[in-house]
Amino acid sequence: MASICEKDQATQGSVETRRMWANGPFRQWSEARVSRWIPYTTGGYVGAYVCEKCTQTCSGVYKVKMPTNNTVEMWLCGTCRTAVKPTKRHLATHVEHAPLSAVCM
């Protein structure tokens, strides 16, 4: 994924989306401090996580093996994670039952 740049209105600084380490999650990053962002060990400041699938900011991401290819892993927000690989709890609430006539013969 390429680095996404945008201007932050509050600081007039450049805000980028960067991968935090090799195969790590994406986060918002800036050279200048943006409100409530935390200092990053290699310099600059980091903000919210960024989902690899929908590219939206979120409070956290999950490392998910993609169902089409179990060797490909992506960092996804909760919504994209559920859409790609539904949890057992999510599946239980969205199960469609077969009509009784088809089951009881």
The per-residue pLDDT for 68 is 79
Query: What pLDDT sits at residue 70?
Result: 76
DSSP string of 82-100? Answer: HHHS--HHHHHHTPPPPPH
- Tens digit of each residue's pLDDT (9 = 90 or more) over 47-101: 999 999 999 999 999 999 888 777 889 999 999 998 987 666 554 444 443 444 3
CA angle 65, 89, 82 (to 5 degrees): 40
Structure tokens at 74: 């992506």
- Predicted TM-score (pTM) of this structure: 0.69
pLDDT, residue 16, reads 95
